[in-house]
A and B are shown apart, each in its own frame.
Chain A
Amino acid sequence: MSKHDLVIVGGGPAGLSAAYEAYKEGIRDIVIIERDSFLGGILNQCIHNGFGLHRFKEELTGPEYASRYIDMVKTTSAIIKSDSMVLHVTDNKEVHYVNKDEGYQIIEAKAVILAMGCRERTRGAISIPGTRASGVFTAGACQKYVNMDGYLVGKRIVILGSGDIGLIMARRMTLEGCKVLAVVELMPYSNGLNRNVVQCLNDFNIPLYLSHTVTDLIGKNRVEKVIVSKVDENRKPIKGTEMEFECDTLLLSVGLIPENELSKEAGVELDRRTNGPVVYENMETSIPGIFACGNVLHVHDLVDNVSLEASKAGKSAAKYILSKKELSNDYINLVNGNEVSYTCPQKIRKDNVDDVIEVFFRVRSVMKNKRILVKSNGEVISKVMRLHLAPGEMESVKITKEQLSTCSDTIEISVEED
């Protein structure tokens, strides 16, 4: 058993940014544990551009964005353990990992940052009917095959799900010479960023079928056809609306799930809405000294927000290690109001907020010209206008320390008519 100040689980953008910030705040003894052979996480396979506009004021590709952070972390004293898999994190902050050179190791840490990212929902998770033919892939797996390994998984493709990964893969496969016949979306709107709908579908005349779903999959050994049907308001397929697409591949882009097996085992309280840990204003989980950030906490669409959130976690972990001061148990609960599906953080300790706290949240549907209200005890403490809101685009509101001082034990965030 060895001892280190800070252990970071996961070397994606969240882990890297957290490490860099903790170093800047004075922590020298940092270990980053990454199961892959490279740092950078999912960004290594996201070769498209659109990363870093807020963070670096430049439009970068995923690998470029990752490289910037890898270079920054290399200037610090952080120890990087790649090809190393974390198997357990305990509530007293022991981190158990395994790799080829060292075997099974245990680190006793003063603070731990969870930055394991998320994984994709699979066919099983959404239960698509039909035969068990080959040719069904998650969009992210297909992305890794084409962008890193150099394999095309098929030629004629139907994509289920219009989140960003689905849209990006529609363009990617088209550029590589495949025919993308349709992108099929259960909801009446796309969950992806606007720019991806424009750049990935409209540019190539790829049809987007909103309020549709895959109702059957036909094929003996390999996928031969998929059947797509329209759905009603309750998302139930409507008989008689079936369309047939002759294809060899079905890509699934049906959502991401934060990877929280380690957190759960450690006893960290999870939020059913985000599938990630419940955190305080400083990204600390229900276990003091264990922090979480990035996609493991809630699914992000912009890596810039991941870096920002992770730097907050890094800073907080540093403060925790250096001060060892117990924080008060007094906190404000953030609750979902009208049209709000979750908030992050979920709890705010007033006396631990410096000047202002930014609360991130998602809305339930696509809306125009609405007001975002922050209320406590029925009183509005802040309101902002939004011209455009969508579930696929994370929103945030800032609450100042002064505004917080007037709040009682709950704050509600809601979307109301202008």
Chain B
Amino acid sequence: MKKLICITCPRGCHLEIDEETLDVKGNACPRGKEYGINEITNPKRTITSTVKIVGAEINRLPVKTDKPIAKSLMFDVMKELDKICVSHPITRGTVIISNVLGSDVNIIACRDL
């Protein structure tokens, strides 16, 4: 039995997962089951950070991965973001890096700037 706290939503259900059968208990919704199984087999995280922007009213453009990416890649993604500089204007949802580090995940802009 592995005990985890579901972090998919702010409710934070306390889950119990059987590592062999991948049976999940304690989840208040189906997404909790999915999270529990993934957390045991292939943990992923959405990364949110910023990239440099020039010509806008502020210096940093908030960005995120458009879906969760392998937890182990977090710091490598940060290094990729360090290399980026975009210029004003940017609209929300614009792809800033496509298929980052060869994954199927894109980095997208989170606001108009």
Q: A61-B64, A148-B59 are in contact. Are A195 and B112 (CB under 8 A)?
A: no
The reply on B2 being an interface residue by CB < 8 A is: no
**List of A residues within 8 angstroms of B48 by Cβ:** 47-49, 61
Q: Mark B97-113, 1 if CB is under 8 A from A, else 0.
A: 00000000000001110
What count of chain A residues pass the 8 Å CB interface test?
A: 35
Least CB distance from A341 to B in Å reads 20
Least CB distance from B111 to A in Å reads 4
Q: A147-B50, A198-B5 are in contact. Are A47 and B62 (CB under 8 A)?
A: yes
Q: Name which residue of chain A comes closest to B62, CB basis.
A: A47
**List of A residues within 8 angstroms of B4 by Cβ:** 198
**List of A residues within 8 angstroms of B49 by Cβ:** 47, 175-176
Least CB distance from B105 to A in Å reads 14
The reply on B89 being an interface residue by CB < 8 A is: no
Residue pair A147, B62 in contact (C-beta under 8 Å): yes
Q: A147-B60, A198-B5 are in contact. Are A47 and B110 (CB under 8 A)?
A: yes
Q: A64-B111, A175-B75 are in contact. Are A193 and B46 (CB under 8 A)?
A: no
The reply on A37 being an interface residue by CB < 8 A is: yes
Q: Mark A189-205, 1 if CB is under 8 A from B, else 0.
A: 00001110111000100
Residues of A185-224 contacting chain B, CB below 8 A: 193-195, 197-199, 203
Least CB distance from B28 to A in Å reads 9
Q: A198-B5, A302-B10 are in contact. Are A67 and B111 (CB under 8 A)?
A: yes
Residue pair A64, B10 in contact (C-beta under 8 Å): no
Q: Mark B45-65, 1 if CB is under 8 A from A, else 0.
A: 111111010000111101010
Residue pair A175, B74 in contact (C-beta under 8 Å): yes
**List of A residues within 8 angstroms of B12 by Cβ:** 193-195, 388, 393
**List of B residues within 8 angstroms of A195 by Cβ:** 5-10, 12
Least CB distance from A229 to B in Å reads 29
Least CB distance from B44 to A in Å reads 11
Rounded to whole angstroms, the CA-CA distance of A175 and B64 in the bound complex is 13
**List of B residues within 8 angstroms of A67 by Cβ:** 92, 110-112
The reply on A337 being an interface residue by CB < 8 A is: no
The reply on B1 being an interface residue by CB < 8 A is: no
Least CB distance from B101 to A in Å reads 15
Least CB distance from B3 to A in Å reads 11
**List of A residues within 8 angstroms of B45 by Cβ:** 199, 203
The reply on B88 being an interface residue by CB < 8 A is: no
What count of chain B residues pass the 8 Å CB interface test?
A: 30
**List of B residues within 8 angstroms of A387 by Cβ:** 14
Residue pair B7, A198 in contact (C-beta under 8 Å): yes
Residue pair A150, B50 in contact (C-beta under 8 Å): yes
**List of B residues within 8 angstroms of A393 by Cβ:** 10, 12
Q: Mark A131-150, 1 if CB is under 8 A from B, else 0.
A: 00000000000000011111
Rounded to whole angstroms, the CA-CA distance of A38 and B46 in the bound complex is 26
Rounded to whole angstroms, the CA-CA distance of A302 and B11 in the bound complex is 10
Q: A61-B48, A63-B110, A64-B110 are in contact. Are A194 and B78 (CB under 8 A)?
A: no
Rounded to whole angstroms, the CA-CA distance of A97 and B52 in the bound complex is 34
**List of B residues within 8 angstroms of A59 by Cβ:** 8-9, 46
Rounded to whole angstroms, the CA-CA distance of A289 and B5 in the bound complex is 44
The reply on A353 being an interface residue by CB < 8 A is: no
Rounded to whole angstroms, the CA-CA distance of A66 and B5 in the bound complex is 28
Q: Name which residue of chain A comes closest to B74, CB basis.
A: A175
Q: Name which residue of chain A comes closest to B71, CB basis.
A: A203
**List of B residues within 8 angstroms of A199 by Cβ:** 7, 45
Rounded to whole angstroms, the CA-CA distance of A64 and B12 in the bound complex is 22
Interface residues of B (CB under 8 A from A): 4-10, 12, 14, 45-50, 52, 57-60, 62, 64, 71, 74-75, 78, 92, 110-112
Other CB < 8 Å A-B pairs besides A49-B64, A195-B6, 13 of them? A37-B57, A47-B49, A49-B46, A53-B10, A59-B9, A64-B92, A66-B111, A149-B58, A149-B60, A175-B75, A194-B5, A194-B7, A199-B7
Nearest 4 A-B pairs (CB), nearest first?
Answer: A194-B12, A195-B7, A63-B111, A47-B62
Interface residues of A (CB under 8 A from B): 37-38, 44, 47-50, 53, 59, 61-64, 66-67, 146-150, 175-177, 193-195, 197-199, 203, 301-302, 387-388, 393
Can you name 14 A-B residue pairings with CB atoms under 8 Å?
A: A38-B57, A44-B111, A47-B48, A48-B48, A49-B64, A61-B62, A67-B92, A149-B58, A175-B74, A176-B78, A193-B10, A195-B5, A197-B5, A198-B4
